[in-house]
Amino acid sequence: MPVTLEKTRKKAPTKAAAAPARSHLSQSTTRYEMFANSLVADIESGRYPVGALLPPEPELCAHYGLSRHTVREGVRKLVDMGLVSRQQGVGTKVISAQVGPNNFSAATSLEALFSYVGGTYLEIYEEGWVSADDQLARLLDCKVGQRWLKVSSYRYKQNDQQPLSHTVLYIPPAYEGIRQYLGEVNHPVYQLIEKHYGHKVQDLQMDVSALSIPTAMARKLQCRPNSPGLLVVRRYRGANDSGLSNSVSIYPQSRFQVSIRYRLNWAA
Amino acid sequence: MPVTLEKTRKKAPTKAAAAPARSHLSQSTTRYEMFANSLVADIESGRYPVGALLPPEPELCAHYGLSRHTVREGVRKLVDMGLVSRQQGVGTKVISAQVGPNNFSAATSLEALFSYVGGTYLEIYEEGWVSADDQLARLLDCKVGQRWLKVSSYRYKQNDQQPLSHTVLYIPPAYEGIRQYLGEVNHPVYQLIEKHYGHKVQDLQMDVSALSIPTAMARKLQCRPNSPGLLVVRRYRGANDSGLSNSVSIYPQSRFQVSIRYRLNWAA
DNA sequence: AAGTGGTCTAGACCACCGA
DNA sequence: CGGTGGTCTAGACCACTTA
């Protein structure tokens, strides 16, 4: 049973574009927004429970009387809200039932976040196994005694003499096999794990703080000793909160900046 | 002079869709990605400097031989990367010249970002009007000559002698009225504006970088002179990209940490 | 009034996934 | 193989900003 998303618009298909009757108060005026809100309501109400698949696009198009482009735009909004995720060949899955302050919404995909590694490479100077002591356990949020393959390196931009950062990777024994690929590629570590082991990253936590760059490292990074830098710890988690890998990077001043953007696209 | 984005695709316009010859290694195979990469290169090279407008969409379509939808998809990617921002009726403005390491973009909830202001207050030591010079205009992404109410302060945690940060607020003349509330409350500025003027924050951009804390400020902050700290610039935008307020905060080492969490689209 | 980006349709080919 | 989402075109009307 088709649903209409009309508010005050003309139905005549000859007039292709929407003719939203917009009050001054911001309402959902566009079709894709009305459609998206409808989906959100259905998800919040439990009609599409977490883990379930949304109806496929053709069905949504027919049901709501929208073109596919508009449907896709609406679903894209839900993806931005962190309510659903999509996968080609499979479908659109509900991953959260509520939008709210507790839902950090992934506005961008991991791939977009790390598109920067393209054109960079790691220069590894040390590899070895370590056991997490108290301090490392706290840093990586793991158990004391946990073993890690520790890979110390500097990251360079291609055709650039100056290192971008000092980066230490901590890789679980289960994924030791990727070490052979670390030096050559410009893929993020999490992609290597996904490719070679099929375990996908579900969650990334990134902590940013300030530190003073030690003298020895400063020489290699070509910055002043004890100059300020950013310390960035990234923790990649897969399903079941299993740790896939971690990285600890140190960036000299002005060589790196975290830019976070929050968009209020859907709130009242 | 039009540019072609061809790699190995058929040119026949009868075959509407792209026929990318994708090697196993991930390359930019889609047209909009190639187009986006081309734009990124032009921005990085300075052909489109920060603050400049990109060519309008029709021009990009003609120049690259792409449909408008594809062009928009490419530009959308740049928006997600935080390189440009768009405004209807105006154009697409370059807001950052470097992809990659210098720029992350993601999203969390506003409330989560500012949960820390609870139990803190501002000790204001200076108030006054300033006109944005070139440098300030760049920092706040406003026009040169724009007037701001500048409020300089230190933020304290209640029952704590040590300041949390040095904070400078930049408030537009239109919202001058909130200055009387600044000293007493522990609400973020954006909440005051929303409460007293009804203008909601639609967009927040937060840039985090490292800096060396100047001697004079270090004394007041009770930290070592020239010790590392975090410089956090927050820009609040309302509808139409109107600037609601800005703040520039400096945090001594270990007194503040940015913690961001991303979630991947698809749970395996 | 002109020009910008925002939305929308109709129809098409494609890559990917699971049965 | 059939069905999913991903990309693409051609053309249209609209809302917004600026001059």
CA of B129 to C1' of C7 (A): 41
A residues 169-228 near B, CB within 8 Å? 187, 199-212, 226-228
Mean pLDDT of chain A: 78
**β-strand pairing of A84-87 with A91-94:** antiparallel
Q: CA B6, B8, B12, B15 torsion: positive or negative?
A: negative
User: Which runs of E-coded beta strand occur in A58-172?
Assistant: 84-87, 91-94, 120-131, 147-157, 163-171
pLDDT of res. A239: 65
Does residue B267 surpass a pLDDT of 60? no
At A162-202, the pLDDT tens digits run 898 999 999 888 888 888 777 665 667 777 777 777 677 76
CA of A100 to C1' of D15 (A): 29
Phi and psi at residue A148, to the nearest 5°: -140, 145
Which of A101, A207, A265 lies at the smallest CB-CB distance from B109? A101
CA of A21 to C1' of D7 (A): 32
Evaluate whether B102 touches B109 at the Cβ level (below 8 Å). no
Report the range out of A116-130, A145-159, B53-67, B254-268 with the highest average pLDDT. Answer: B53-67
More confident residue, B183 or A174: A174
Q: Which of A17-26, A100-109, B142-151, B203-212 has the lowest mean pLDDT?
A: A17-26
Nearest to A238 by CA among B228, B264, B18: B264
pLDDT of res. A11: 32
pLDDT of res. A116: 57
> Nearest nt (C1') to B10 (CA)?
C13
Produce one character per residue of B201-240: b if its CB has 16 or more CB atoms within 10 Å, e if not. bbbbbbbbbbbbbeeebbeebebeeebbbbbbbbbbbbee
pLDDT-derived band at A102, boundaries 50, 70, 90: very low
Q: Name every chain B residue with its beta carbon within 8 A of the beta carbon of A187.
A: 26
CA of B90 to C1' of D19 (A): 12
pLDDT of res. B112: 52
At B124-181, the pLDDT tens digits run 999 999 988 888 887 887 778 888 999 999 988 777 788 989 999 998 888 888 888 8
CA pair distance A121, A153, nearest whole angstrom: 10
CA pair distance B22, B18, nearest whole angstrom: 11
Indicate the DSSP class of residue A55: P
More confident residue, B62 or A241: B62
CB contact under 8 A, A258 and B258: yes
> Measuring CA to CA, how many Å separate A184 from each of A120, B85, B95?
10, 35, 32
C1' of nucleotide D14: residue with nearest CA: A17
CA pair distance B233, B243, nearest whole angstrom: 14
At B95-132, the pLDDT tens digits run 877 765 555 555 555 555 555 555 678 899 999 999 88
Nearest to A110 by CA among B97, B131, B121, B268: B268
Which residues touch A164 (CB under 8 Å, ≥6 apart)?
A120, A154, A155, A156, A157, A251, A255, A256, B101
| Cα dihedral A244/A248/A254/A259 (nearest 10) | 40
C1' of nucleotide C4: residue with nearest CA: B89
Half-sphere exposure of B263 (CA within 13 A, CB side): 21
C1' of nucleotide C2: residue with nearest CA: B89
pLDDT of res. A266: 46
CA of A17 to C1' of D13 (A): 5
Angle between helices B57-64 and B31-44 (to 10 degrees): 110
Does residue A234 surpass a pLDDT of 80? yes
Q: Per the confidence metrics, is the pTM higher than 0.85? A: no
CB contact under 8 A, A258 and B208: yes
B residues 34-73 near A, CB within 8 Å? 69
Mean pLDDT of A78-91: 84
What domains can you pick out in chain A, each with its CATH number? 1-100 (1.10.10.10), 111-252 (3.40.1410.10)
pLDDT of res. B60: 95
C1' of nucleotide C13: residue with nearest CA: B17
Produce one character per residue of B160-171: b if its CB has 16 or more CB atoms within 10 Å, e if not. eeebbbbbbbbb
Q: Name every chain A residue with its beta carbon within 8 A of the beta carbon of B211.
A: 228, 253
Evaluate whether B190 touches B236 at the Cβ level (below 8 Å). yes
CA pair distance B214, A240, nearest whole angstrom: 45
> Nearest nt (C1') to B71 (CA)?
D8
pLDDT of res. B106: 55
In chain B the first and final C-alpha atoms are separated, in Å, by 46
Q: Is A257 on the interface with B (CB under 8 A)?
A: yes
Q: CA angle, A112 as apex, A54 and B63 as ends, to 5°?
A: 100
C chain positions with any atom within 7 Å of a protein CB: 2-18
Phi and psi at residue B165, to the nearest 5°: -165, 165
Burial class (CB in 10 A: 0-12, 13-18, 19+), B76: middle
The structure tokens listed for A120 are 């960079």
Q: Residue A68 belongs to what H/E stretch?
A: helix A68-81
pLDDT-derived band at B2, boundaries 50, 70, 90: low
Q: DSSP letters of B84-147? A: EEEETTTEEEE--S--GGG-------HHHHTGGGTTEEEEEEEEEEEE--HHHHHHHT--TT-E
Angle between helices B68-81 and B57-64 (to 10 degrees): 110
The structure tokens listed for A152 are 């110390």
At B190-241, the pLDDT tens digits run 777 777 777 777 677 788 899 999 999 999 999 999 999 999 988 887 766 6
B residues 88-117 near A, CB within 8 Å? 96, 99-113
pLDDT of res. A251: 93
Residue found under tokens 């935080």: B82
Produce one character per residue of A169-202: b if its CB has 16 or more CB atoms within 10 Å, e if not. bbbbeebeebeeebeebebbbbbbbbeeeebbbb
